[in-house]
Chain A
């Protein structure tokens, strides 16, 4: 079973206007594993 931490992201998401977004830079879920129905595992990147 994948576990999900309480704090998923550390940085706030912001708007994306005119190709610029200052703080949308490190958003990644820190949870790790999705178990697919096909019995294979896909790793999500850890922070």
Chain B
């Protein structure tokens, strides 16, 4: 679609310097002022929703119905949420004893480096930018080299709302520009969303500089269906879990566990539903699944289907490139269901990052908890049942940062999202993330007049 500049080491350095130059004034802006700016940004996003949605759809390949109804509006809501959070933030004060008070004040951490992936280029930007700006930090932000346009377009729309240097965008590849940012000595904190593999590099870069890092990484989430689930809603939820954003979702419900008593009925119904999904040109309003990010990703997904077949999985439906009129060269994938899978197969362990679900049969609660937890990841997951006691028992037993009950892939601001195990460190989309973007200043006050008497 378009070429973006490959940000050089000098570009990253210029951006970091600009951010530090802006920091002393930005950190002193009042909470009221910053909240007002965030609200203004949200209004600008809403006013340009169609424009931003179309850019995102063209750049990423995700359906326009998703960008119009999810990515863009959820992004503006994120800015509004954090505007509200900082207005209600009060720090804390405690009385240690009769003569001693302790105050805890939140202070911005400095210049933060943020790197986001290609699956939700604009929404992940909103997740990162809103809390960092709200807390008075300055930012050097690097979008994915595959999908840099929506955040650059957002920057163009909001540039007058922010002082120069507060938010800097450097485009380029992760391997070069991203690494320059990770290695820069004057970054105060790193925030990254992407693969677990790259997450290790980010964590090591942070460790080398002794700075904090928040990481939102990969997943292989368990979507668990008991025999008493609301069946129609359950089938809908299985689709939402694995077909939303063409399955390119870190918390995708890619391991579908189904109780043996409803297994055959479930697989048949899900097959029919998958085959009814319209895979089409992303900018058409009735398209339900668009294109994978590129043909390389499509090849990776197709290769996993072959791996599954070689392991003994049965392709119930899909398993091949989808034919889309007008998009013959696109990276369109059929919704794919693999059955006769066990939890130790590669297709059940590794993140495929495409519209490929594996179905695993289970007998009882104890067995499914054990299998669901037998994963190196722990990001998302769901339980489908009408037994509230069982729902809560299973949700609590699964080692994951987010468990949905009778729903999937809902990610509104106000509910913390993040991973256990190799799915990451930290929680976003909630005021908890404010801790990651602030230092805690403790002011310890002695009210007594007398010397200590120790010397």
Known: A19-B165, A36-B285, A37-B285. A44 touches B54 (CB 8 A): yes
Residues A2-36 near B (CB distance < 8 A): 2, 4, 8-9, 12-21, 24, 27-29, 31, 34-36
Per the bound structure, the CA–CA distance linking A39 and B112 in Å amounts to 42
B interface residue count range (under 10 / 10 to 19 / 20 to 34 / 35 or more): 35 or more
Contacts of A34 in B (CB 8 A): 50, 53-54, 64, 68, 283, 285
Expressed in whole angstroms, the minimum distance between the Cβ of B186 and any Cβ of chain A is 15
> Do A29 and B54 have beta carbons less than 8 Å apart?
yes
Q: Are B165 and A18 in contact (CB under 8 A)?
A: yes
Q: Give complex CA distance A15, B284 in Å.
A: 31
* In the assembled complex, B149 has its CB within 8 A of some CB on chain A: yes
Tell me the complex Cα distance, A18–B149, Å.
Answer: 19
What residues of chain A lie closer than 8 Å to B5, measured between beta carbons?
Answer: 12-15
Other-chain contact of B11, A15, A29, A42 (Cβ < 8 Å): A15
A45–B21 Cα gap in the complex (Å)? 36
Collect the chain B residues with CB atoms within 8 Å of residue A44's CB: 50-51, 54
Please give the distance in Å from A33's CB to the nearest CB on chain B: 9
Instruction: Please measure, in the bound complex, the distance between the C-alpha atom of A42 and the C-alpha atom of B4, giving whole angstroms.
Output: 28
Number of interface residues, chain A, beta carbon within 8 A:
28
Cα–Cα distance between A13 and B171 once the two chains are bound (Å) = 9
Cα A20 to Cα B164 with chains together (Å): 8
> Chain A: which residue is nearest B49 at the CB level?
A42
Give the most central of A8, A12, A13, A28: most B CB within 10 Å: A13
With a cutoff of 8 Å between Cβ atoms, the chain A residues found around residue B152 in the complex are: 13, 16, 24, 27
Could you say which residues of chain A place their CB within 8 Å of the CB of B21? 18
The 8 A-B pairs of least Cβ separation, nearest first, read: A19-B164, A18-B18, A42-B50, A35-B285, A16-B169, A17-B15, A18-B165, A9-B2
19 interchain pairs, CB-CB under 8 A: A13-B148, A13-B149, A15-B7, A15-B15, A15-B169, A15-B170, A17-B14, A17-B18, A17-B168, A19-B162, A27-B2, A27-B156, A29-B58, A34-B285, A37-B68, A37-B286, A42-B50, A44-B50, A44-B51
